[in-house]
């Protein structure tokens, strides 16, 4: 009997030591801080563009009384479809995510720039509606869907398939109570050239949540088919003075991007183009201008409670005249001027201004007027809404415990077939400093934990602790449109706790660290243009955050 008790005590001790070692080997992040710098200044009567810096593309806005709600596309990230609230169109606060449950979409194997494309938010009869497209989400899921919510912060419903192809569905609620959905799709009879698309319209029944009646092709190709316009997309219809206005993006979401507008006397058309389209573009401007804004398009318009019209749209802020950018397609705001019955966002040849007079709405809330500084000490019981992961799992791969963030083991970064144990925030400035404190004792070769700047599964950068050839090192490695890691710099690491800092300066990064009370630079001015969307491709911006992988 004594022997049995001794054996049980011995086994318990082994288990405790084992567990303790396991816990000691868990990567533990004790804080994360972001400091974005901008030299753009605005006074109390002005605001700074972009009103939502960082990867917040394809904005759609709606007004309910004195409240404005906005949603952005979110692609392969989860939670997705971020919902924002504002009282003044300038200060936006995230209030939730329409896609916040694994049961809504299983994002297994979804690429960073696949998943949730351009959305549309609207409000009717006490219910919020959100339409969008889930691209290459899973073989059985039809692409276009609608979700509803009683409150904009959610919970939002499961997605209901709408049963048509193409992208960018949006709902128009007519005065007679009928609802219509317009969306991009292939043209009648098929495409005549690469990028030849059309805009289709069909009635939508909000009771059955189904499309009803015939489909009508309302725009073929774009403003002038003879010019072979490409990628007419992101359509939104609104009504003013009895006329139906259809606005859409044309020219593709890169440097040729623009916003165009059509008008009709009847919902089904014919829609005739404005004689002076586009109503917004930056494609005619010189690339070497100061503080360039480029790729402007994909706009949505909204009328304020005082009757003024404003537009939100996407654009990018290249580091320099190369057109390269890492902060993604961001949400900008500009006033709309009505000319002879047509809305114009920006006269041709004019640069998008970075400092603009505020809307005539009482300012409310804290706007991001250029610079931005925040720090997460992980003391709350859940992460703030700014944090996102790549793809999703039934339960989060991280947990918050006693002021630290720790990860269960996920997939290795760069493997699209797995979900990495990664949470990150959008890079919102071309000049920024990001830092964290990491305690990690890797047990096996290949175990790694640290900061990751992620553009895609093929384009990212790692900076942190790794066990390699039996030794613990501090390393920077990258994937530059590649399936292979490239070790850039490493040093032996004499401790298990280290402060990591990344200084971002346009297309360059400098990496420094502090260990055992000593600060050192590991690597200075490393060329990180491979993180630019122009190099990595796709539709997202750089997401920078915390990651761990343990075999």
Query: Does residue number 460 form part of the binding site for ligand 6LW (CB under 6 A)?
Result: no
What are 305's strand-pairing partners? none
Q: Would you give the binding string for ligand 6LW spanning residues 278-297, x where CB under 6 A is met?
A: -------------------x
Longest dimension (CA), the chain: 98
3's enclosing H/E stretch is: helix 2-25
Within positions 245 to 264, which residues make up the interface with ligand 6LW, using CB under 6 A? 249, 253
Work out whether 59 is an interface residue with ligand 6LW (CB under 6 A).
no
Residue 73 binds ligand 6LW (CB under 6 A): yes
Please give the DSSP secondary-structure letter assigned to residue 541. -
Q: Helix count (H) and strand count (E) of the chain? A: 2, 41
Measured distance CA(368)–CA(333) in Å, rounded: 13
Burial class (CB in 10 A: 0-12, 13-18, 19+), 122: buried
57 touches ligand 6LW (CB under 6 A) = yes
In the annotation, is 233 catalytic?
A: yes
167 is an interface residue for ligand 6LW by CB under 6 A: yes
CB of 197 to ligand 6LW, least distance (A): 10
Token pair 């801080």 is found at 33
Distance CA 136, CA 114 (A): 6
- Least Å distance between CB 333 and ligand 6LW? 17
Q: Shortest approach of ligand 6LW to residue 405 CB, angstroms?
A: 30
Long-range residue pairs from 204-207, CB within 8 A, at least 24 positions apart, any chain: 204/146, 204/162, 204/171, 204/179, 204/180, 205/179, 206/124, 206/125, 206/127, 206/129, 206/179
Subset of residues 501 to 540 that bind ligand 6LW, contact rule: CB under 6 A: 539
Closer residue to ligand 6LW, CB minimum distance, 27 or 167 = 167
The strand pairing partners of 119, in sequence order, are none
Q: What is the DSSP code string of 392-445?
A: --SS-SEEEETTEEEE---BPTT-TTS-BEEEEEE---SEEEEEEEEE----ST
Residue nearer to ligand 6LW on the CB measure, 118 or 500: 118
CA Rg, the chain, in Å? 25
Residue 439 Cβ vs ligand 6LW, minimum distance, rounded to whole Å: 39
147 to 166, contacts with ligand 6LW by CB under 6 A? none
Instruction: Based on the shown chain and the rule CB under 6 A, indicate whether residue 450 belongs to the binding site for ligand 6LW.
Output: no
Contact pattern for ligand 6LW over residues 100 through 119, marking x by CB under 6 A: -----------------xx-
Of 389, 401, 412, nearest to 102 by C-alpha is 389
Using CB under 6 A as the binding rule, the residues of this chain from 117 to 136 that contact ligand 6LW are: 117-118
Cβ closer to ligand 6LW: 53 or 119? Answer: 119
From 100, 143, 185, 233, active-site residue: 233
- Minimum distance from CB of 253 to ligand 6LW (Å)? 3
Of 88, 143, 168, 447, the one binding ligand 6LW (CB under 6 A) is 168
Q: Which positions lie near ligand 6LW, rule CB under 6 A?
A: 57-58, 73, 117-118, 167-168, 233-234, 249, 253, 297-298, 539
Q: Which residues are catalytic?
A: 58, 233
């Amino acid at each position: 009997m004594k022997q049995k008790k001794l054996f049980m005590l011995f086994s318990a001790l082994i288990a405790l030591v084992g567990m303790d070692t396991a816990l000691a080997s868990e990567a533990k992040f004790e804080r994360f801080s972001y400091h974005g710098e901008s030299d753009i200044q605005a006074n109390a009567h002005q605001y700074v563009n972009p009103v939502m810096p960082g990867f917040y593309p394809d904005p759609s806005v709606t007004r309910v009384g004195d409240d404005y709600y906005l949603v952005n596309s979110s692609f392969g990230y989860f939670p997705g479809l971020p919902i924002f609230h504002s009282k003044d169109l300038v200060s936006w606060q995230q209030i939730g995510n329409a896609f916040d449950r694994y049961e809504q979409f299983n994002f297994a194997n979804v690429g960073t720039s696949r998943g949730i494309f351009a959305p549309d938010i609207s409000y009717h009869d006490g219910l919020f509606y959100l339409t969008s497209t889930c691209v290459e989400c899973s073989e059985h899921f039809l692409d276009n869907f609608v979700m509803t919510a009683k409150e904009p912060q959610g919970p939002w419903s499961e997605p209901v398939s709408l049963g048509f192809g193409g992208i960018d569905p949006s709902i128009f609620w007519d005065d007679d109570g009928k609802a219509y959905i317009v969306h991009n799709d292939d043209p009648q009879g098929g495409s005549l050239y690469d990028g030849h698309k059309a805009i289709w319209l069909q009635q939508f029944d909000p009771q059955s949540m189904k499309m009803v009646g015939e489909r009508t092709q309302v725009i073929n190709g774009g403003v002038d088919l003879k010019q072979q316009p490409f990628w007419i997309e992101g359509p939104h219809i609104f009504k003013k003075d009895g006329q139906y206005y259809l606005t859409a993006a044309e020219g593709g979401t890169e440097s040729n991007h623009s916003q165009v507008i059509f008008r009709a006397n009847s919902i089904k058309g014919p829609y005739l183009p404005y004689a002076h389209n586009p109503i917004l573009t930056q494609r005619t401007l010189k690339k070497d201008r100061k503080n360039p804004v480029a790729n402007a398009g994909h706009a949505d318009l909204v009328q304020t409670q005082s009757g003024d019209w404003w537009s939100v749209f996407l654009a990018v802020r290249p580091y320099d005249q190369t057109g390269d950018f890492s902060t993604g397609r961001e949400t900008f705001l500009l006033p709309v001027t009505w000319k002879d019955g047509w809305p114009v966002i920006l006269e041709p040849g004019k640069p998008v201004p970075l400092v603009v007079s505020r809307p005539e709405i009482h300012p409310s809330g804290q706007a991001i007027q250029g610079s931005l500084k925040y720090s997460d000490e992980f003391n709350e019981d859940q992460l703030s809404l700014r944090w996102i992961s790549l793809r999703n799992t039934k339960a989060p791969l991280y947990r918050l415990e006693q002021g630290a963030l720790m990860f269960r083991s996920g997939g290795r970064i760069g493997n699209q077939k797995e979900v990495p144990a990664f949470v990150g925030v959008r890079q919102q400035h071309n000049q920024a400093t990001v830092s964290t404190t990491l305690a990690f004792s890797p047990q096996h070769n290949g175990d790694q934990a640290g900061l990751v700047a992620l553009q895609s599964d093929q384009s990212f950068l790692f900076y942190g602790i790794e066990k390699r050839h039996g030794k613990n090192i501090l390393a920077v490695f990258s994937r530059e449109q590649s399936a292979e890691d490239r070790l850039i710099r490493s040093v032996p690491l004499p401790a298990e706790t280290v402060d990591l800092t990344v200084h971002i300066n346009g297309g360059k990064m400098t990496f420094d660290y502090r260990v055992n009370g000593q600060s050192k630079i590991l690597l200075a001015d490393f060329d990180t243009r491979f993180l630019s969307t122009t190099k990595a491709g796709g539709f997202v911006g750089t997401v920078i955050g915390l990651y761990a992988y343990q075999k």
